[in-house]
Structure 1
Amino acid sequence: MKQQYQELYQELRQFMPEERLIHDDLRTLAYGTDASFYRLIPQLVVRVDNEEEVSRVLKLTRARKLPVTFRAGGTSLSGQAVTDSVLVQLSSNWRNYQIHDLGDRVSLQPGVIGGKANALLAPYQRKIGPDPASINAAMIGGIAANNASGMCCGTAQNSYNTVDSMRLIMADGTLLNTADPDSRKAFEQSHGDLLASLKQLGEETRANNELAELIRHKYRLKNTTGYSLNSLVDYADPFDILMHLMIGSEGTLGFISEVTYRTVEEHPLKAAALIFFPEMESTCRAVTSMKPTPVAAVELIDRAGLKAVEDQAGMPDILRTLGDEAAALLVDVRASTREELDQKLAEVTAAIEGIETVAPIEFTEDAETYALYWKIRKGLFPAVGAVRLTGTTVIIEDVAFPIEQLAEGVLELQQVFRKYGYDEALLFGHALEGNLHFVFTQGFDDDKEVERYKLLMDEVADLVAVKYKGSLKAEHGTGRNMAPFVELEWGKDAYELMWKLKAAFDPEHLLNPDVILTRNENLHLENLKPLPPASELVDKCIECGFCESSCPSRNLSLTPRQRIVIWREINRLETAGEDAERLRTMESEYDYQGIDTCAACGLCETKCPVSINTGDLTRNLRHERNKGYAGVASWLSDHFEGVASTSRTMLKLADGVHAAIGSKAMSTVTGAARKLSGNRVQQWTPSMPKATPKMDTILKQYPPRQQGDKVVYLPSCATRIMGAARNQGEDRSTPEVAMSLLNKAGFSVTFPENLGAQCCGMPFRSKGQFDAADARITELNQALLKATDNGRYPVFCDTSPCLMQMRDKLDSRLRLYEQVEFIHDFVLPRLTFTSKKERIALHVTCSTTKMGLADKFIALAQACAREVVIPPDITCCGFAGDKGFSQPELNASALKDLPEAVAGCEEGYSNSRTCEIGLSEHSGIPYQSIIYLVDRLTESSTAD
């Protein structure tokens, strides 16, 4: 770290903890990477907790004349969130919100994810206006700072047009709340010159008819190129001008610490049609015809885009029969009532009557078909990413043409792509606004490729901005990528006006320099991100960051995106044979940051547009690291029944000591032992379970019925070993409760042979011991086939992660049911509820989510309780098999917000015994399997 940054670091340490001041080589690279194709590595990453810290950081960096860049979710595509100076990153503390006026307005801190904001507003049938494709990963700070829009947002519902008020921090650290008269008055006194300047620039702009008309024309389109100059013609009050200039300013004018939006209606009724046209001209004529109609969205997809997805599962057969010039429109219509929807559909259909289509127009309200249509549209970007050559990146640009010239613009754009050899380019977008995205692959590993990209962008800029007077950036923000072309699009007068605005807000040009405005005409060709091969498992990663919000280690070590970034760098260094010392250091630090603290839960795959499970990479790396222990793993696998028996004995001994000396003394003793052993001794907590009774003991108490529908019950090794916790309030183990419930429901229960030795192999596979895992799963497969008569009878498993592993690895003839699914589908119809709980907490495990069982789990819980609390920001609990014992900080970090989220609940429920240990420890309430609750609240409704 350079001397001036070292001095800043020492100053920041006076009021911020060191763990939020990141300057090591590995993490500055990881945390400094965003979704763009640019790479700058910050000298210092500062994770701020609140407005006061932001203010103090800005004052200190300003005093040292050090540039500062702000980062929220890091999903921006144009290079606006990277820096080689100070990166100010939001900690997890910026997620507060307040709903006003029955949902008509909502105040959101910048760390709230857009999709979470909409979930909060859903009970009011409202949502925020902006709806970018990244809404489930992008945070409000970035959505507002980039003036992001989306598929249904248009221009009327973007941040600029729906912002109601704002809290912001200026370059000098001053806080302004535009909704607070006292704050405005204080700001007038401290920043009167700025307000006077904004007022004067507004008056001059409105008086300049040519410039004012240019601005109005540009903002009839979607436009995020340059600053929001429309604020100068739309408003006269300098506070209004200031607030609206902050929208789309990409962190170059100040820091947005809260936005209050006027929300928009979320219509309950939706219908969509995928309409195919023989060629692009008629497609674009249809768009123009629908512009005045009440459509929610009109998405254009060119033939290349349709070809990219036509072979994917579930795609309509017609996709494979279209001609080479064909195109499609996805038309979406929404309404509040049946009558309103029918009227809107009639208007839309009438507007395009007479325009030739390949097939009849059919709107659908079927949820599955509706989702399929949008899957086609949303799958276009990842379709390119999934087939690109290793080492290339995927670039998605977005331009806007005047809608009346859309057809000509599209055809010429396609010609430009062909001219420069971008034959794989797809073109799609929000046609109603003339806003089109083009996606293509690009390598930056040699000068010829960079030159080809330069020529393409020069010609695209001239075509869009000069010939058609459109927008070079419609909704992705100017960033570094389009900063050299801002003057080309806007002209000299408007461009110099932008520089005046920048100087008024940030006279020293320290806030995100070179973003939006630059004097460097080659900026878009510099600091290009390398994407070297690292592993076939992750080489398709486009570093978009969609995975990060689901990762349990996101606030402790690295996210999936960051793990891939570092593994790519390690492989690059190794291949190049350069900087051996840096390579060794990075490999050593990656052991903890990348491998040890990865839960390998696979939730990242559910968010990833190219379906990467970074956990697969982690398991492979553990395999390589742990090869020396393969013999030990094989012995443990071969003697699994004895190992399980020994584990039960150890739990009995630990519980005996716990009973004798109490929780406080036990924590002290075991904590000291763990410390002295260098963390080799597993972490003990008061939620540690007692031993499960042996199965023959359980079966004496709950003898299986001789009559009834047959089911094969496989208690997982976790539930066969780990029983109830001492503080749980229920002494029975999960297998005991499961037998009680299955008997009550009239099932005849059998078990696989040699039950004590059976295991799905997950404890071995998670550590990279694949041979030992395969041995266990092979034996289990044989035992279950025999027990089920080759799949004749269903298998019931009481642990969700184990069942997911079994579905992936076992014979397809086996009918495998996780406890939630089996109870929901087969047990509940045989039971009668005698009572309901008032309020319970529910943890939906990552395996439940991945298997698509979350809705059934919630429905089951709702059958048991009047109110079910599902903590909104808890994804995977981070216990990860035994990580809760070996890396307890991962579990603690993942569940940091759990106590507040479940306040008022007396008990919680899940469907994985190990997860329940960590949930109990960190929530303040006991967690058990949902089986316990169903068994307690029901009685048989069938005759014996």
Structure 2
Amino acid sequence: MNSLISALRTYFPAASVITDELRLLAWGTDASFYRLIPQVVVVVESEDDVAYVLTVAAQKGIHLTFRAAGTSLSGQAVTDGILVLIGEAFATCEIGPDATTVRVGPGIIGGEVNYRLAPHGRKIGPDPASIGACKIGGIAANNASGMCCGTAQNSYRTLAGLRVVFADGAVLDTEDPFSVARFYESHATLVDELARLGAATRADEALAARIRHKYKIKNTTGYSLNALIDYEDPIDILAHLMIGSEGTLGFMSRITYRTVVEDPFKASTLVFFPTIETACQAVIRLKQEPVSAVEMLDRPALRSVEDKPGLPPIIRTLGNDAAALLIEVRAESAVLLQQRIDAALGALTGIATVEAPTFSTDPATCEMYWKVRKGTFPSVGAMRRAGTTVIIEDVAFPIESLAAATLDLQALLREHGYSEGIIFGHALEGNLHFVFTQDFSDAAEVERYARFMDEVCKLVIDKYDGSLKAEHGTGRNMAPFVEMEWGRQATDLMRRIKKLFDPDNLLNPGVIINDDPQAHLKNLKPMPAAEDIIDRCIECGFCEPLCPSHRLTLSPRQRIVSWRELSRRAAAGEEAADVGRDFAYFGLDTCAGCGLCSTACPVGIDTGELTRRLRGRGLGNKTPSHKVANWTAGNFGKVATASRVGLSIGHAVSGVVGESLVARLSGGAWKRGMPQAGKAPKAQQGTGTGDPVVYFPACGGRIFGANTADEATLPEVILELLVRAGYDPRLPAGFDKLCCGQMLASKGMAEEAEQMADTVTAALLKAADDGHGGYYPVIMDASTCSVRMQKHLAGRLALLDFHEFAHDALLPRLMLTRKRGPIALHINCSVRRAASDTKLRRLIAACAEEIVEPAGVTCCGFAGDRGFVVPELNVHALRKVHEALPANCCEGVSTNRTCEIGLTAETGRPYRSIAYLLEECSRTESMGAC
């Protein structure tokens, strides 16, 4: 072990070799119900890095696994050997001519590729439900498909070329003739054997027929044997064998896809049927029509979501045998769309439905329909008993057998006591997912699961000759059953392929091919109860792309995994040891608490809430005591004054010794472009001229002043704007001694924070009272604080963030001259969570001709004071902003003062409130470039 770590550290930077117990546990967890703790985690950023790890693994005789996003449901991304984590240098994307191809690295998220292709009207073919979180490496390695992809547009069918790093460190680029020629020379044995295997397979009529039959429906069980009959060129065979190989044959360092059209016109309908049989009759007819997706949901699946707001009330009235089909059609024009709608409706003619089907082109209605489908899996996960695991299995049947197979699966779930189980799936492909909950902490429960899976395999294989894995990859849970599905001859062929590529069995062993019949019952992941707010977590990893600390310390999923382990140890009387010590920094100090994770979480978990709760218990290195928090709550005026004095001293010192030295001496707390000390505006109680409005300047804008000494402060700018637009602003009495408490709430000091919010509430109610039983409009100028007070005042007083009020009330009253720009826009996490980003975009669009919204930047990581106390979080969160901003972009806007401080420091460009831009553009003189 020590020699392994030493060998890796002689080559990799220290941060790329992870050995602490906490993060080994965190990275040893993926979305499956398996867990293996790696001996070491290594982050690779190049093919040379991969080759070096392969060399070390071979020398030490230690197996390894490549990991992209870890959204795999079948355990392909965990190992007890070396976990090779694909770094961000592999997150590349090169769009080809006319966007008909796209060349991508394995580290880029599938949804990001589609985002970049969208302006060209194209997308990649695979469309897994996890596309917003999963990465290209996993999509290709599992041959993932999805709701509209089917078998025609998966990675296997849309592959145009790839680069592979093999177990011996050799590299092949199938798109480079010189690379191919060199490979023919250096790996003649491998190439010749692939050619021979292909020829022999094609010559064996029975085997070839069996392979063709197996791929008439979705199938990711075992290796892609269809490569041996679909292609004769050994390089083509090799390339297509890599697809779906789950990291067991080599490392795909680059993949070129042929893109597919993303039709702009879409329509959907949710059709209810009295029985599964009638729904499947409709599926068979629809298979012949130009429909893009047909999703089937059985009655338990519908029941799991029927009480969600906005869903059709008819769901609650359906009989026990009912089912539904969600049908979507797409087209390049409105005329063609209507033709396809008519064809789909025609196919349903004569089939019994609960009510007449009607297609909708309204995006909101279509989204509501899809919420029915997408809400089923998480609904089971959210309702499960604490300590249990949610399992989603993935099978496929010939479409003509779909009705009978669905009924048989329902019967098996009931027979084995999985009463909560639901079934849904991609009906056009005969692909069903069934979801149930399982307790792996009890031996009897594990045995029940084993019996159930044995019966499922017999049903799928013996009765229907279906696929045990349709689109999730073979993984650990179906590897022991590959031979049962394929038979000895085909499975032996797979074994020969594995041996040919990986003779020492170092690449992800036990995945795809596993001769241990009990392998699927080993290394089962515990899911101990920890906290009520996180026990629903299914560890899917959907949260990770939005988290500002992901890849710096821990992601939301990894924080939950870590706290579950610490809770387990506490319940068992075990010491927290190094895991507890490290969790203080990795888990709590560097959590921004922004809550963006909840917007992607299938069950709506805000891991920041866990962080705040634990900070409130005194955990974390950067958490103040309740005594300090209580004093702060009662003396905020003194806190504000002291902070402004500190800023003034800092500027005086930096003026003498320079900003860099002050930044170093302060541990990064002093920032480049640190704003001037703020000042409280003069109290205003209204002049009687104009429409009354109450303005509460948040403490961030009062403490942190303008970016330069000759610039107006944020409260001054907003007051000027309000008067200019014909409003009569008044400020709450004693406002400079008030704070909404967000600064304490983020540290887990909930009680003290509530005291501060209560004081602000009283002041706002008094200031806004119009004397006639109503209230004047109330605004605040920091989104985070506005959102907090909106929740606090709900049902009592309406409060708007400045950008919301500006959009609704100021735009109609101001004459604007748009600035040429470009101007950078940062939409902070509070605006995203409040879903007020549309208004912010419209507001800046009214002020600027060119807007830059950097992709890959979510929360800035400043998080109130986190940017001062753990500055590395802010730096990491904004690591992608630099390349996204054009050189001629010389200013930016946002809606939170501390976010703007961090953005200014990191980009070297002044970021200010959107109020500054609105004020500038509403002056009488015309605006030029920035």
Question: Residues 637 and 736 of structure 2 are in contact (CA less than 8 Å); yes or no, is this contact kept in structure 1?
Answer: yes
Partner of 2:670: 684
Distance 1:910 1:670 in 2: 24
Partner of 2:591: 598
Structure 2: segments with no counterpart, 5+ residues: 926-930
Q: Which runs of 4+ in 1 moved over 4 A?
A: none
Distance 2:848 2:94 in 1: 27
Shift of 1:148: 0.5
Partner of 2:739: 759
Partner of 2:697: 715
The amino acid that maps onto 1:619 is R
Distance 2:273 2:722 in 1: 57
**Secondary structure at the residue paired with 2:516?**
coil
Partner of 1:49: 45
Distance 2:776 2:214 in 1: 66
Q: Give runs of aligned pairs for residues 512-531 of structure 1, distance below 5 A.
A: 512-531=508-527
The amino acid that maps onto 1:887 is V
2:60 to 59, 64, 68: 64
Question: Residues 654 and 662 of structure 2 are in contact (CA less than 8 Å); yes or no, is this contact kept in structure 1?
Answer: no
Partner of 1:915: 899
2:569 to 568, 573, 581: 573
Is the counterpart of residue 109 in structure 1 residue 105 in structure 2?
yes
Distance 1:20 1:730 in 2: 45
Does 812-821 or 433-442 show the bigger shift? 812-821
Question: Residues 686 and 692 of structure 2 are in contact (CA less than 8 Å); yes or no, is this contact kept in structure 1?
Answer: no
Is the counterpart of residue 505 in structure 1 residue 501 in structure 2?
yes
The amino acid that maps onto 2:100 is D
Shift of 1:750: 1.4
Question: Residues 744 and 939 of structure 1 are in contact (CA less than 8 Å); yes or no, is this contact kept in structure 2?
Answer: no
Partner of 1:802: 785
Q: Give runs of aligned pairs for residues 685-704 of structure 1, distance below 5 A.
A: 685-696=671-682
Note closer, same or farther for the CA distance 1:865–1:730 as it changes in structure 2 (3 Å cut). farther
Distance 1:220 1:600 in 2: 48
Question: Residues 680 and 736 of structure 2 are in contact (CA less than 8 Å); yes or no, is this contact kept in structure 1?
Answer: no
Partner of 2:661: 668
1:238 to 234, 252, 274: 234
Question: Residues 716 and 799 of structure 1 are in contact (CA less than 8 Å); yes or no, is this contact kept in structure 2?
Answer: yes
Is the counterpart of residue 8 in structure 1 residue 4 in structure 2?
yes
Partner of 1:92: 88
Partner of 1:824: 807
Shift of 1:791: 5.7
Distance 1:261 1:361 in 2: 37
The amino acid that maps onto 2:556 is P
Is the counterpart of residue 74 in structure 1 residue 70 in structure 2?
yes
Distance 1:708 1:722 in 2: 29
Does 862-871 or 443-452 show the bigger shift? 862-871
The amino acid that maps onto 2:703 is I
Question: Residues 830 and 940 of structure 1 are in contact (CA less than 8 Å); yes or no, is this contact kept in structure 2?
Answer: no
Is the counterpart of residue 622 in structure 1 residue 615 in structure 2?
yes
The amino acid that maps onto 2:740 is C
2:719 to 734, 739, 748: 739
Partner of 1:933: 917
Question: Residues 202 and 228 of structure 2 are in contact (CA less than 8 Å); yes or no, is this contact kept in structure 1?
Answer: yes
Distance 1:821 1:103 in 2: 38
Note closer, same or farther for the CA distance 1:730–1:599 as it changes in structure 2 (3 Å cut). farther
Is the counterpart of residue 870 in structure 1 residue 860 in structure 2?
no
Cα shift readout 1:535-565 (whole Å, capped 9, x = no counterpart): 1111111100000110000121000000111
**Secondary structure at the residue paired with 1:631?**
helix
Distance 1:670 1:50 in 2: 33
Partner of 1:548: 544
Shift of 1:225: 0.4
Shift of 1:671: 2.4
Is the counterpart of residue 609 in structure 1 residue 593 in structure 2?
no
Shift of 1:687: 2.1
Partner of 1:772: 752
Distance 1:853 1:169 in 2: 46
Partner of 1:291: 287
TM-score of the superposed pair, with normalisation by structure 1: 0.96
The amino acid that maps onto 1:468 is Y
**Secondary structure at the residue paired with 1:482?**
helix
Distance 1:509 1:791 in 2: 75
Distance 1:752 1:253 in 2: 68
Distance 1:156 1:938 in 2: 54
Shift of 1:350: 0.7
Q: Give runs of aligned pairs for residues 422-501 of structure 1, distance below 5 A.
A: 422-501=418-497
Q: Give runs of aligned pairs for residues 264-279 of structure 1, distance below 5 A.
A: 264-279=260-275
Partner of 2:304: 308
2:775 to 792, 798, 823: 792
Cα shift readout 1:306-336 (whole Å, capped 9, x = no counterpart): 1100111111110111111110000001111
Shift of 1:8: 2.2
Shift of 1:657: 2.8
Distance 1:940 1:310 in 2: 55
Note closer, same or farther for the CA distance 1:373–1:628 as it changes in structure 2 (3 Å cut). closer
Shift of 1:633: 1.3
Shift of 1:628: 7.8
Cα shift readout 1:144-168 (whole Å, capped 9, x = no counterpart): 1000000011110100001111111
Shift of 1:708: 2.5
Shift of 1:593: 0.7
Distance 2:92 2:774 in 1: 50
Partner of 2:908: 924
Partner of 2:881: 898
Partner of 2:928: none
Distance 2:662 2:421 in 1: 63
Distance 1:52 1:319 in 2: 56
Shift of 1:271: 0.5
Q: Give runs of aligned pairs for residues 219-258 of structure 1, distance below 5 A.
A: 219-258=215-254
Distance 1:19 1:668 in 2: 25
Question: Residues 839 and 867 of structure 1 are in contact (CA less than 8 Å); yes or no, is this contact kept in structure 2?
Answer: yes
Cα shift readout 1:743-801 (whole Å, capped 9, x = no counterpart): 22111211222211221110111111122101100111111112222762221111111
2:149 to 143, 147, 153: 153
Does 412-421 or 833-842 show the bigger shift? 833-842
**Secondary structure at the residue paired with 2:304?**
helix
The amino acid that maps onto 1:938 is S
TM-score of the superposed pair, with normalisation by structure 2: 0.97
Question: Residues 92 and 555 of structure 1 are in contact (CA less than 8 Å); yes or no, is this contact kept in structure 2?
Answer: no
Distance 1:694 1:619 in 2: 30
Distance 2:370 2:545 in 1: 22
**Secondary structure at the residue paired with 2:509?**
coil
Distance 2:710 2:471 in 1: 55
Q: Among all aligned residue pairs of Structure 1 and Structure 2, give the percentage whose two residues are the same amino acid.
A: 52
The amino acid that maps onto 2:680 is K
**Secondary structure at the residue paired with 1:66?**
coil
Partner of 1:352: 348
Partner of 1:861: 844
Number of residues of Structure 1 aligned to a counterpart in Structure 2 = 918
Question: Residues 817 and 847 of structure 2 are in contact (CA less than 8 Å); yes or no, is this contact kept in structure 1?
Answer: no
Is the counterpart of residue 724 in structure 1 residue 709 in structure 2?
no
**Secondary structure at the residue paired with 2:441?**
coil
Alignment RMSD = 1.5
Shift of 1:730: 6.1
Does 779-788 or 424-433 show the bigger shift? 779-788
Question: Residues 221 and 401 of structure 1 are in contact (CA less than 8 Å); yes or no, is this contact kept in structure 2?
Answer: yes
Structure 1: segments with no counterpart, 5+ residues: none
**Secondary structure at the residue paired with 1:298?**
strand
Note closer, same or farther for the CA distance 1:635–1:469 as it changes in structure 2 (3 Å cut). same
**Secondary structure at the residue paired with 1:329?**
strand
Does 782-791 or 411-420 show the bigger shift? 782-791
Partner of 1:833: 816
